[in-house]
Structure 1
């Protein structure tokens, strides 16, 4: 469904999109890098409004969010389009192509939400939801109006400009932000983007909502312990309680490098824990993904794959009583 885009400037015979840092200059009939914003009759339009490619009910831990509504389900929804071109993309069929879609109105979405048991709310995910911005904004705002207890989650690469981000944040409760590396070289080569705007999104979002960070350690491209240390130091400078998920890479899409060495994954977790209170390992079978008190090491949440058992009933350690940043 075509829909006007609110953030733009006219530049002679082209229109500049201002949703993300690419700031694409788009001519009549052409598209931006995301392939979902185009110019029609001298008007910037988005072609994926209300268009759904993927929908599922997931454990919220799958996003991954470990410190937000543990043990709850969440309705996960995605469209198509992305403003990055990651060589290892897990969902390239919908992020880099235009697959078959179904339209979903706000009333239909509200009905689906109401039918999900043990549901925390909605997660916009799968493709890059910030390239589905107009629909995400409209539906999140309306869902909050209808039921303020509905949690809105965004799983994102964080590549968005300040103005649209700040307009959206009042209707968002949590984000998992992919911090794909810690150098412009990596972002440019692997993702077709820049590092600094993602860092700014992390800083801004942390001031308003719950955030967790995921970093994929790609063999021979990004598995250096030095870079993991830089990421941990950066996050700790904002808030040492930000959960960091270090995820194991497997060959996917255009990236054929070998899967990340498990020993390197373990070393990376140990390095990050020097600076952060909560570091988790992902995509490693049998790994300990429980949550422990950083002070007395009491086990607070048990996780076995996506089965979760919450051992606390309030956001503090039952043994040493320090506050624990978990939104139950």
Structure 2
């Protein structure tokens, strides 16, 4: 008996089989969910920490396990043109396939403590919870959902069965085959465009801008789900006028003028505690640059500034949705999302009236919903 044998990781032992991997000639297996292409020996985890090798297969260690659930305003994702004012049931798991030094959710995305995933629920239970709490959609967020792809697509399928929409909040760092399956189930996406140079992505995220651009183009041109972009402006890193000019010009040319772009404020966190908060003036300057370069819908986030947080008609310039942070005020949209002033169609997914959820956030436990859902399944 080998007393020095490595103990079996119970999370890997009890994990569910994953997709998108291939065996290599050297005996390792390669994960093909994201461009990182982690190559694993038995018992090893990928950089994301949640996809691992068990024997001759890849497994997902976080299927059915979440770091918590919360009912948020849809504007918090942020999505300003997708069912405004409605509540969204949000959840995430643990881990991430990027290494952003400025991560604002690092306690979840960088977690290596799997015992923090205490709230467990089957896909059908999450869909039932969204229904029973009046949520119009479920958001896969807090950490990047591409790394728990198998769980996310099963939850999304269950949501669609009961008329609940699906929202992905993601950095878009994913390979083609996995990209197609994952986004096929999504009705709306907020894509985190972290900066607009390869140097920024390499230095601060150990990732690639080109791969994220490819995902953005795929979503807008091929998948045609609703897409909004977010860039967190970090002082001295990605907030120069030249970079914002280049970013906004690319969005206009590659994605079109109707794709909303959010510039949000950074606060010191994780491994970038030495950076100051983003001044509101920086966000407002970025807003002006985006508008100058032809983008119809540019927003500032994480600050109270109603003029740059609101939606304007590209036809007549009328304010059609007043918005301060996550709180709606003015509403000038008619049937089908048309401006009541001039009749111009506003890009997005709108209903005749906005929701009334407001700014509130409401953490919930899925235990009771899961128990009731399981009882219903057993009774059938």
TM-score normalised by the chain length of structure 1: 0.96
**Please, which of 251, 264, 267 is the counterpart of residue 282 of structure 2?**
264
- 2:242 maps to 1:226: yes
- Radius of gyration: which is bigger? 2
Spell out, residue by residue over 1:25-45, the C-alpha distance to the aligned partner (whole angstroms, 9 max, x if none): 111111111111111112111
Q: Cα distance, 1:168 vs. partner?
A: 2.3
**Please, which of 40, 58, 62 is the counterpart of residue 26 of structure 1?**
40
In structure 2, the residue matched to 1:10 is 23
- 2:125 maps to 1:108: yes
In structure 1, the residue matched to 2:101 is 87
Give the 5 Å matches for 1:25-174: 25-99=39-113, 100-101=116-117, 102-117=119-134, 119-144=135-160, 146-147=161-162, 149-174=163-188
Change (3 A) 1:115 1:98: farther
Instruction: Judge which range, 36-45 or 282-291, deviates more.
Output: 282-291
* CA distance in structure 1 between the partners assigned to 2:61 and 2:112 by the alignment: 10
CA-atom RMSD, angstroms? 1.3
Q: Cα distance, 1:262 vs. partner?
A: 2.3
SS of the counterpart of 1:56? strand
Preserved CA contact (<8 Å) 2:71 2:90: yes
Q: Cα distance, 1:287 vs. partner?
A: 4.2
Preserved CA contact (<8 Å) 2:167 2:188: yes
Q: Which runs of 5+ in 2 are unaligned?
A: 1-13, 351-380
Q: Which runs of 5+ in 1 are unaligned?
A: none
* CA distance in structure 1 between the partners assigned to 2:306 and 2:281 by the alignment: 12
In structure 1, the residue matched to 2:324 is 304
Preserved CA contact (<8 Å) 2:332 2:339: no
Preserved CA contact (<8 Å) 1:281 1:287: no
SS of the counterpart of 2:155? helix
In structure 1, the residue matched to 2:305 is 286
In structure 2, the residue matched to 1:215 is 231
Preserved CA contact (<8 Å) 1:54 1:126: no
* CA distance in structure 1 between the partners assigned to 2:240 and 2:189 by the alignment: 26
TM-score normalised by the chain length of structure 2: 0.83
